[in-house]
Amino acid sequence: MVFKLPLGFNRGFATPVLILYYMNVFVLAIVLYLLYRFVSGFLIPVIRTTRHMRRQFHDINGQTPPDGRPGNGPDPVNGTTGKEGTHKTGTSKVGEYIDFEEVK
């Protein structure tokens, strides 16, 4: 069964279809913006914080982190970790008290 439609039948639906198309683009733009804000505002900071905490955990335990950087394990000679063992004591002048007399 074939229906014969009048010649201008679809012309009445052209404007609503065009409006729906622009609404579709607008909704898609909003969704993409929200997705961008979620990724840049939540996921990336969570991933960076997780990596930082893992590195600190591995550094404290003296293990090599998953990214292959060497850890600062305990120094068996001094009994300190790598960062603390390399610090020289007595070379810093910050906070040292200097006695002086006022000259007139």
pLDDT digit string (tens) for 7-58? 666 666 767 777 788 888 899 999 999 999 999 999 999 999 999 999 999 8
Instruction: Specify if 53 maps to a domain.
Output: yes
pTM for the model stands at 0.44
- pLDDT tens readout for residues 64-85: 656 665 545 555 555 555 544 4
Domains in the chain: how many in total?
1
Q: Which domain holds residue 58?
A: 31-74
Domain for residue 47, yes or no?
Answer: yes
φ/ψ bin of 68: left (φ > 0), alpha (ψ from -120 to 50), beta (otherwise): left
99 found inside a domain = no
Contacts of 63 (CB under 8 A, 6+ apart): 71, 73
Q: Which of 73, 76, 78, 77 is nearest to 58 (CA)?
A: 73
Contact 80, 90 (CB under 8 A): no
